[in-house]
Amino acid sequence: MNKTLSKILQYVVFLGLGIAIVVYMYHSLSPKDRDEMITAIKGVRLWIMIPIFISGFLSHFFRALRWKLLLEPLRIHPGTVNTTLAVLIGYVANLVLPRAGEVAKCTVLAKYEKVPADKMVGTILAERAFDVICLFIIIIMACVLQAHIIGTYAQEQLMKLLAKKYLFLGLIALLGVGLVALLLVYRRHKETKIGKFIKGMSHGVSAIIHMKKRWAFIGYTVLIWFMYLLQVYLGFLGLPATDHLSMLAALVVLIFGSIGMITTQGGIGAYTFLVAHILHFYHIEEGSAQAFGWIAWAVQTGIIVILGAASIIILPILNRNYNAQDKLGNQ
């Protein structure tokens, strides 16, 4: 009951924050900006949605291929189709509850591939940690390549973060205490479900260290982020107000959009707010900037919902024959 209540409260907080940002953004717009935003939305070039949808799917497909590489050291070799569909279902789950997708895609893949879910959870943690490192690298690249546009703003934000040194020290200390507590729990409960789960997670995290196909892993990572970048750039081409912006501008927008996606539930409100804010540095009017933010968020969310819903329907159908064969083989 406490676990369920915690998830509900987490969902309410993240969603509530997103709604609060949406309300703030709406009331901060002047009547002229609102009219401009509506006009910009009506002027979207719909044909651009096709390549955006394709690049969106490919980003998830490459993520599934990368996940398979992490599973190989654990002697887990799932099918590419099942892995891709599980990844898509995980993204849909994340729209419902924060971080629920990580558990969902492991559970789904474990069910249809008959593999242990606890070991796979560790690979998700390793994957997320690697993505955070990639995001920091991209932030540095963007600040260097677009220093003449966002250099001052980036420097101000960095100084604000550095001023909160005690917060960082507290987080590092908390992480250390958490790791020690996890180790103590494992030592006392090795043979219980909790102990086995912790052991499985450790195996998953170590998979990235013992992975043989490191260059393939890096290659898939580059392709994943390039697909994200391509979606933003193609989005620029979809609006007359932004079709002159470059790939480097798309890189900056990608960073702020990524931060927005993890700030609130499904990125609602925060994604648009941060994307519109950074577009001001590229001299995009408020109405057009917010129009782009809302369209980009809606398209990305729509891709996840469509592909995820299709995966939920397709996955049991594709595996029905395999399950039937398993039953016949056991008789």
Question: What's the pLDDT tens digit per position in 227-245?
Answer: 999 999 999 999 988 999 9
What percent of the chain is predicted at pLDDT more than 90? 20
Predicted pLDDT at 82:
92
Q: Where are the domains of the chain?
A: 48-228+303-319
Degrees (nearest 5) of the Cα angle 78, 82, 88? 125
Question: What's the pLDDT tens digit per position in 34-52?
Answer: 666 777 777 788 899 999 9
Question: What's the pLDDT tens digit per position in 283-316?
Answer: 888 888 888 988 888 888 889 889 988 998 888 8
Helices 2-28, 270-279: inter-axial angle, 10-degree rounding? 40
> What pTM did the predictor assign?
0.77
Contact 265, 15 (CB under 8 A): yes
Question: What's the pLDDT tens digit per position in 169-182?
Answer: 665 666 566 656 65
Predicted pLDDT at 263:
75
Q: Is residue 64's pLDDT more than 90?
A: yes
Predicted pLDDT at 65:
95
Tally of CA atoms within 13 A in the half-sphere of 35 that contains its CB: 3
- 202 against 75, higher pLDDT: 75
Task: Report in angstroms the alpha-carbon separations of 163 from 143, 160, 169, 263.
Answer: 20, 5, 12, 21
